[in-house]
Amino acid sequence: MRFIMKWTLGLMAVSCPLILITTLSNTREIEAASRTFLERFTAGAGSSLSRDVVRDLQNILKDLHKARENKMPPEKETIMALKRTLEHLSTEASFTSAQQFQQSGGGRNKGDSSGDHDQMHQKVSLQEVFTVATDVTRVNDTQLEILLKDIASRYDGLQVVVCVGSDAALRVSKQHKNVRGFRVTSSTPVAVRWSRLLAMVNTTYVLVGRGLIALSSFSDLERLFMTFLQVPNAAFVGGASRNQNGQWRVGCYQTRMLMYVLTLQHGYTSFDYGCMFCDSVAGPFITTTNLVSSIPIDVHLPGEVVFSDWFLRIRAAGGLGLVCPDVLFFVSDEYHPWKSRTAWEAIASKWNVTDVHLPDDFNHHYSCMEARLNCSKVDKSLALPSCCLALLGGALHEVVSAVQEQYIDVHIMNKTAVAGVVGGQQSWEMDAHLAVQNATLQVQLAMLSLNRRGYHVDIAEDGATYYIHLHSTVIFLHLLNVDMKAGLPLQQAVTPTTILVGNAWLPAPPNPGLYVRHLRGSGFLQHPLAERPLPQCHNPSHHACLHHFPFDTTLRLL
């Protein structure tokens, strides 16, 4: 769906031509329009622009430029900051969707909500542009009759499409004007039902009535519609919900996907027009048929997560969502999306995440296989998933144990020691390095033991290094002169130094921090080696792109 954001701006006696900005995902156009705006007003308005406003616009331009360089849509905070700055400067500001702009022949003046409502009714009625779509397979015939009467009494002539679970319910729906329905069986997947429902909508906008069982004067569709038209790049706008037990829920969630972890949290970070910005919503919401056509429901997902996935894809495309908590829908009490580990496994495998953290303290962890991650085929520009690092950590611990069983002194070295010092295995490496005493016979016995455990062992031509392979991991065993007591006080030298790498305490040089500093120099706390910079991501928006992250921090803290 394409949107147009119209700003009619006046400042002092200086006028500015109409600025039309198309899709907000088109970062280049927004940046160019904003830069033009800044240049024109700083040149034409002289001192009328305060230094603070100029600074704000310059910071916004930097954020837009960074987003464009990373081939990502602007952050919603950047868009809202731009909007607030322009509104501060303007004598008139209006925001309208492209379709409404085309239908009405122009934008709307900024004013109170009642004026907006009056203007909307003069140009287009909800009955002309809206359809209510809802799955009522678990609603009895009496409740269905009440719901359809509620809709007809409040919005006479509004189109309704329903999915029913019985012939009796289908007959009830046919008794009502402007209602179309189809019958499904209990085995029809929820996602398939919604896909068919949305395909039947032939109006510009649709109310996706998830769990909807009743409407009242609180269910103000006009309020949601006006908010949808006023907010740039709005993709969906929902209301609060109240279930049959009287429990009220605002249902606004923020989403974060980073380093193979998907997190959903209650709450909002910003608002406009009295509505909260949300990455996903719990109850019914309005959107456009163009949007559900271009970003369709995934019919292969379980019902509990089908809309969670849709919201994730909307967010990835740069769309914004809102909840207006003063609008209330009445829903069934079936909303329990967090509990099912199996349902969220479908999300984990689709989005390649190993951990899903959900509201109400529901957390699900998945293996590499469940998340469809192949450690040997992870793009080199991406951080490795925790399950792959766990595989390396387990192999490293097993090799150390096999060597120690032969009474050979061993400690971690090189980048494996660096990993221990900076707080974890390095997320771009599937290998590790060990140093052992050159006790040839005992080392060979250790290698035979590892062979019996499924490892494949090779040795370098010079005989100074063993290569120990297991699946996608490789551990380098360097034959060196290891002194694990050097520099330790006499009474402390009895116990060698160990360091936590992964989930295991492994033998280390006597002073690991000093060892790493001598190894890497003054920049030893920076992750990537200077001679091997990390590659740029082929997909810059991927949640595990290494070049997105600062390399002077413990990555698991991000």
Q: Is beta strand 159-164 parallel, antiparallel or unpaired with respect to 179-183?
A: parallel
The answer to whether 37 and 16 have CB atoms below 8 angstroms apart is yes
In whole angstroms, what is the distance from residue 523 CA to residue 293 CA? Answer: 51
The answer to whether 345 and 366 have CB atoms below 8 angstroms apart is yes
User: What region does 318 belong to: left with phi over 0, alpha with psi -120 to 50, or beta?
Assistant: left
Evaluate if residue 288 carries a pLDDT over 50.
yes
Closest CA to 518 of 416, 412, 414, 436: 414
Task: Please state which of the ranges 107-121, 228-242, 398-412, 423-437 shows the lowest mean pLDDT.
Answer: 107-121
pLDDT, mean of residues 393-406: 92
Evaluate if residue 404 carries a pLDDT over 90.
yes
Query: Tens of pLDDT along 50-84?
Result: 556 667 777 777 787 777 777 676 776 777 777 66
In whole angstroms, what is the distance from residue 330 CA to residue 327 CA? Answer: 10
What pLDDT, on a 0 to 100 scale, did the predictor assign at position 27?
Answer: 59
Task: Between 86 and 497, name the one with better pLDDT.
Answer: 497
What pLDDT, on a 0 to 100 scale, did the predictor assign at position 310?
Answer: 97
Evaluate if residue 268 carries a pLDDT over 80.
yes
For 308, the token pair is: 């969670």
What pLDDT, on a 0 to 100 scale, did the predictor assign at position 117?
Answer: 39
In whole angstroms, what is the distance from residue 86 CA to residue 80 CA? Answer: 10
Chain centre distance of CA 360: 19
pLDDT, mean of residues 94-110: 33
Q: Rounded to the nearest 5 degrees, what angle is found at the Cα of 283, between the Cα atoms of 280 and 285?
A: 75
Evaluate if residue 529 carries a pLDDT over 70.
no
pLDDT category of residue 42 using cuts at 50, 70 and 90: low
The answer to whether 208 and 291 have CB atoms below 8 angstroms apart is no
H-only helix segments in 485-525:
512-520
Closest CA to 223 of 122, 325, 101, 153: 325
Task: Please state which of the ranges 85-89, 463-467, 532-536 shows the lowest mean pLDDT.
Answer: 85-89
Place of tokens 């090799």: 399
In whole angstroms, what is the distance from residue 170 CA to residue 382 CA? Answer: 51
Residue type, 227: T
For residue 352, the tally of other CB atoms under 10 A from its CB is 20
Chain centre distance of CA 310: 11
Query: Tens of pLDDT along 188-234?
Result: 999 999 999 999 999 999 999 999 999 998 999 999 999 998 888 89
The answer to whether 93 and 9 have CB atoms below 8 angstroms apart is yes
Closest CA to 500 of 415, 437, 412, 414: 412
What pLDDT, on a 0 to 100 scale, did the predictor assign at position 391?
Answer: 85
Mean per-residue pLDDT of the chain: 80
Evaluate if residue 104 carries a pLDDT over 70.
no
**Domains of the chain from N-terminus onward:** 3-119 (no CATH), 125-252+268-335 (3.90.550.10), 386-557 (3.30.460)
In whole angstroms, what is the distance from residue 35 CA to residue 251 CA? Answer: 37
In whole angstroms, what is the distance from residue 516 CA to residue 522 CA? Answer: 10
Residue type, 399: V
pTM across the whole model = 0.71
pLDDT category of residue 384 using cuts at 50, 70 and 90: confident
pLDDT category of residue 36 using cuts at 50, 70 and 90: low
Query: Tens of pLDDT along 439-468?
Result: 888 999 999 999 999 999 999 888 889 999
pLDDT category of residue 438 using cuts at 50, 70 and 90: confident
Chain centre distance of CA 98: 26
For residue 156, the tally of other CB atoms under 10 A from its CB is 10
* Through-space distance between the first and last CA atoms of the chain, rounded to whole angstroms: 33
For 375, the token pair is: 């450690």
* Eight-class DSSP state of 536: P
In whole angstroms, how far apart are CA 335 and each of 129, 296, 383? 29, 22, 35
